[in-house]
Amino acid sequence: MSTSKAITLTLFIATTLLAPCNAAANATTKPLFPAILIFGDSTVDTGNNNYPLPTIFRAEHFPYGMDLPDGKANGRFSNGKLISDIIATKLNIKEFIPPFLQPNLSDQDILTGVCFASAGAGYDDLTSLSTQAIRVSEQPNMFKSYIARLKGIVGDKKAMEIINNAFVVVSAGPNDFILNYYEIPSRRLEYPFISGYQDFILKRLENFVRELYSLGVRNVLVGGLPPMGCLPIHMTAKFRNIFRFCLEHHNKDSVLYNEKLQKLLPQIEASLPGSKFLYADVYNPMMEMIQNPSKYGFKETKRGCCGTGFLETSFMCNVFSPVCQNRSEFMFFDSIHPSEATYNVIGNRLDPLIRGKFQA
């Protein structure tokens, strides 16, 4: 065989063998969605609360963000990534989602998506009155400003194509129940039974996602409630709870709300042509971590890593607070918010469900 034929044959074999590998690599690195858009509260707020002056809940100080690549606080209520960042990374969109109110957003930031969430927000507008957060019902106005900027970058048609195909995360609810029903009973006179207030919140949620749909959103992940009776600050608020047991009646409330939400989302999807809605279960993974902590590498599930772990959050968790050495062993970073390790477990659960729903 001549040298030229040998080289040609070698190249053919190499190309044939490597083609599937390259295809597989492209399949794993290509983003499943062109952009990711985030709405909700502190579980997904990547820093919007750094900017409005009146907001009470902020995480722009140490020890928040201490395990981020640069070790600096940037508004995320955790030691590292939030669940929204983890999802964005798994979907190959971007590693960190910037807050929309960040003043120096690049065109690329806009193209691949931003966060509109605000710590302390809820579906109930009354919630944000006490926390001075950006109300969930107000976040679509920020979204409209985002769409206008996106159109300015790529034009109207391409902008709406990005919005139609973007992955949208909605995560809120706990603040409504904790601030308006359990700790400060401002809604109990109007809704003497928790089921009535749940229905009110779910109606607000439905109106919110329908508004997002009217603006072009089609692919939506909606988070359920966590086991609220197991949040460290919530256990602390019940002074007789010296053994720090989870408050089971509040957990039952979370379960009932989540069951209602799981029934509601398919109904919304059926009424909105071209839409896809997926329920994000955070309750069961978190209960599994609480009941079997060693399976997930946790040694502490009843208090946060910051300070005593019983009360500290936001400004109370600060540079003067002692911080645990092994954050990955703590389920919670402060008295309300999960650690990055917890978000990683939840992200690993959600990733195949997202792909199964939205790749189909």
E-strand stretches of 182-266: 219-223
- Cα distance between residue 216 and residue 210, in whole Å: 10
pLDDT at 347: 98
Nearest to 338 by CA among 315, 295, 306: 306
42 is catalytic: yes
Asked if residue 178 is part of any domain, the answer here is: yes
Cross-strand bridge partners of residue 170 = 39, 222
Asked if residue 125 is part of any domain, the answer here is: yes
337 is catalytic: yes
Does 331 have pLDDT greater than 60? yes
Number of domains in the chain: 1
- Cα distance between residue 185 and residue 158, in whole Å: 47
pLDDT at 239: 63
Say which of 41, 254, 337, 339 is annotated catalytic: 337
Q: Is the CA virtual torsion 269, 270, 274, 276 positive or negative?
A: positive
pLDDT grade for 28, boundaries at 50, 70 and 90: low
The answer to whether the CB of 132 falls within 8 A of the CB of 113 is no
Range of the domain at 219: 36-296+342-359
pLDDT grade for 183, boundaries at 50, 70 and 90: confident
Does 15 have pLDDT greater than 80? no
pLDDT at 4: 43
- Rounded mean pLDDT of 323-329? 97
- Residue 153 token pair: 């970058």
Please state the length of the chain: 360
Does 100 have pLDDT greater than 90? yes
Does 322 have pLDDT greater than 80? yes
Say which of 41, 42, 234, 281 is annotated catalytic: 42
- Rounded mean pLDDT of 95-121? 97
- Rounded mean pLDDT of 152-156? 98
CATH code assigned at 64 = 3.40.50
334 is catalytic: yes
pLDDT at 42: 97
pLDDT at 184: 82
Does 19 have pLDDT greater than 50? no
- Residue 174 token pair: 């706990």
pLDDT grade for 82, boundaries at 50, 70 and 90: very high
pLDDT at 237: 83
- Cα distance between residue 81 and residue 61, in whole Å: 15
pLDDT at 72: 96
Least confident of 44-48, 116-120, 169-173, 188-192: 188-192
Say which of 253, 334, 335, 339 is annotated catalytic: 334
pLDDT grade for 23, boundaries at 50, 70 and 90: very low
- Residue 237 token pair: 């608020």
The answer to whether the CB of 247 falls within 8 A of the CB of 221 is no
**Phi-psi region for residue 75, left (φ > 0), alpha (ψ -120 to 50) or beta?**
left
pLDDT at 3: 42
- Rounded mean pLDDT of 69-84? 98
For residue 96, the tally of other CB atoms under 10 A from its CB is 18
In the chain, what percentage of residues exceed pLDDT 70?
91
Asked if residue 10 is part of any domain, the answer here is: no
Asked if residue 6 is part of any domain, the answer here is: no
pLDDT grade for 22, boundaries at 50, 70 and 90: very low
pLDDT at 21: 41
Query: What mean pLDDT is reported for the chain?
Result: 91
Give the DSSP H/E element, type plus range, for residue 301. Answer: strand 300-304
Does 228 have pLDDT greater than 50? yes
pLDDT at 8: 37
CB-count burial class (<10 Å; 0-12, 13-18, 19+) for 241 = middle
Least confident of 4-8, 75-79, 330-334: 4-8
In the chain, what percentage of residues exceed pLDDT 90?
83
- Rounded mean pLDDT of 288-297? 98
Does 297 have pLDDT greater than 80? yes
- Cα distance between residue 320 and residue 164, in whole Å: 46
pLDDT at 6: 40
Give the DSSP H/E element, type plus range, for residue 38. Answer: strand 36-40
Does 14 have pLDDT greater than 50? no
Does 25 have pLDDT greater than 70? no
**Phi-psi region for residue 120, left (φ > 0), alpha (ψ -120 to 50) or beta?**
left
Asked if residue 106 is part of any domain, the answer here is: yes
Peptide bond between residue 185 and the one before it cis (omega within 30 degrees of 0):
no
pLDDT grade for 44, boundaries at 50, 70 and 90: very high
